[in-house]
Amino acid sequence: MPPRIYADNAATTRLSEKALEAMLPYFREEFGNPSAIHSYGVEAKKALEDARRRTAKVLGALSTEIFFTSGGTESDNWAIRGVAEQKGGKGGHIVSSRAEHNAVLKTLEKLEGEGFETTYLEPDRLGRISPEDLERSIRPDTILISLMTANNVTGTIQNVKELARVASLRRVAFHTDAVQAAGHVPVNCRDLGVDLLSVSAHKFHGPKGVGVLYAKIPRLPPPLLTGGGQERGGRSGTENVPGAVGLATALEEAAERTREAPGALEALRDRLISGILEIEGAALTGDPVNRLPGHASFVFEGIGHSARLVNSLNEAGICASSGSACSASSQEASHVLLSMGYSPREALGSLRLTLSHENTMEEAEFIIEKVRESALRHRTRPAT
C-alpha cells in the first residue's frame, strides 16, 4: 500500500503508544474485576480509581464527579435522558441547537415522542450560538440546555462559559458535548460552570469504546444502565479498566502537548487553510478564529457532491472526510451546515480535513496540491 496521510482526526485518532503501553498490563497480568475483593480485584480497582483521579485533574473536576462510560454517545444519552427522567419523565422543555451531533439530536427526537418539548437554537453563519437567543428561549418549564463545546463538522468553538452562565442564572441544568474539544483545547469543568459534560477517548489518541460523563455534585442523573451498580450506582456493567487507564493517559498526554508546543498544530492548520483558500471556489466553514486547532473545513462551489473529492484524495493517499464521520457515506447534506444557512447544494460540496500532532508541514503542502488537482478535475461549472 502506498504511504497514507491521515487527515480525519475528528472521526477518530491513532491510539498513542504511551496509552497502549499503559493499558497492556490490564489486559494481561492485572485483568481482575474491580468489584472482586481478592488481590486481582484490588489491583484493578486501584488502576481504575487512579485513572479517575488523573482524568478529574485534567478536566478540573473532583474524582467523585467523573463517571466512565462507553464513549461520547452514551455520555450524551445519559446526560439528556437522565435529566429528563430526574424531572419526572413526563414532559418539560429542553433547549439545544440544530448543529449538535446526532447523539444529542436523536436522543431529543425520542424524548419528543415521549411528551417533551424542544427548542432548537439556530447558529449564525460561523456556527455560533448567541447567549441572547438562549436567554430568550428559556421557559418556566425548561429542564435542560444541551449545547456542544466544539462542532465536529466545522470546528467552531462555542463560548460555553457564557452560555452556561445564562443557564445557571435561570437555574436550568446545562450539558455540553465536549467530545471534539477535550484533549484539543483546555476543558475545565469548574471554570466552564457546566453541570454535565461528555468526553470520548478515541478523539484524543485514547482507545475506542470509553468515555466520561462529568456530573457536577449533586447533578448526577439517574442511571441509564441498571444492573450491578458499578460507578457508584451511576453506571452498571463491569468497568473497562484498560480503557479508563488509556483514556487518562491519553488525556494527560494531550494536555502536556498543548502546554509544551502551544500553537504548533494551529500553524499546520492555518497553512492548510490559506493554501486551500487559494483554490477557486473554496470557502472556509466555521469560525476562522475560535476553531479547533487541527480543524480545517471547507465548501467547494461547483464540484457537486464532495464524496468525489474525498475519493480522489483517497486515491492520492489522503484520508479526508466529506463532513461528519457518521454521515460520510450518506448522500445527504450536513445538517450542521444547513443549520448555519448554507444551501443544500453548497453543503453537499463540503470537505473536512482534521490534523493531529502526527501530521507534518510537508503533508499539509501535499494535501493542498492534491485538493487543488481534485477540485479542478471535479469542477462541473465555473465558480461564481
Ligand X SMILES: Cc1ncc(COP(=O)(O)O)c(C=O)c1O
Query: Please, which residue, 129 or 368, has the CB nearer to ligand X?
Result: 129
Cα–Cα distances (Å) from 90 to 86, 145, 271, 353, in that order, read 10, 17, 51, 42
Least spacing, CB of residue 32 vs ligand X, in Å: 26
Measured in degrees and rounded to the nearest 5, phi and psi for residue 131 equal -60, -30
Give the nearest distance from C-beta 326 to ligand X in angstroms.
Answer: 6
The answer to whether 275 and 364 are in contact (CB under 8 A) is: yes
Task: Give Cβ neighbours of residue 66 (< 8 Å, ≥ 6 apart).
Answer: 52, 55, 56, 59, 212, 214
Specify the residue, 181 or 309, whose C-beta has the smaller distance to ligand X: 181
Q: How far is the CB of 83 from ligand X (least distance, A)?
A: 17
Tell which one of 126, 316, 325, 328 touches ligand X (CB under 6 A): 325
Of the residues 5, 22, 43, 72, which one makes contact with ligand X according to CB under 6 A: 72
For residue 287, the minimal CB distance to ligand X (Å) is: 16
Please identify, using beta-carbon distances, which residue of 268 and 292 lies nearer to ligand X. Answer: 292
- The rounded distance, in Å, linking the Cα atoms of 377 and 312 is 9
Q: Map the footprint of ligand X across residues 183-212, applying CB under 6 A.
A: 200, 211
- CA 180/CA 26 separation, integer angstroms: 27
CB of 73 to ligand X, least distance (A): 3
Nearer to ligand X, 144 or 375 (CB): 144
Query: Where does this chain touch ligand X (CB under 6 A) — which range of 53-61, 70-78, 223-231, 328-336?
Result: 70-78
Residues annotated as catalytic are 326
**8 part of the interface to ligand X, by CB under 6 A:** no
d(CA 142, CA 59): 27
- 3-state secondary structure at position 231: coil
Q: Which stretch binds ligand X (CB under 6 A): 1-9, 32-40, 119-127, 177-185?
A: 177-185
Q: What is the DSSP string of 307-374?
A: HHHHHHHHHTTEE-BSS-GGGTTS-SPPHHHHHTT--HHHHHTEEEEE--TT--HHHHHHHHHHHHHH
Within residues 141-160, the interface with ligand X by CB under 6 A covers: 148, 152
Looking at beta carbons only, is 82 or 211 nearer to ligand X?
211
Per CB under 6 A, 179 contacts ligand X: yes
Closest distance to ligand X from the beta carbon of 204 (Å)? 11
User: What is the three-class DSSP state of 204?
Assistant: coil
Residue closer to ligand X (CB basis): 75 or 374:
75
CA torsion sign for 147, 150, 156, 160 is: positive
Give the binding site for ligand X (CB under 6 A): 71-73, 76, 101, 103, 148, 152, 177, 179-180, 200, 211, 325
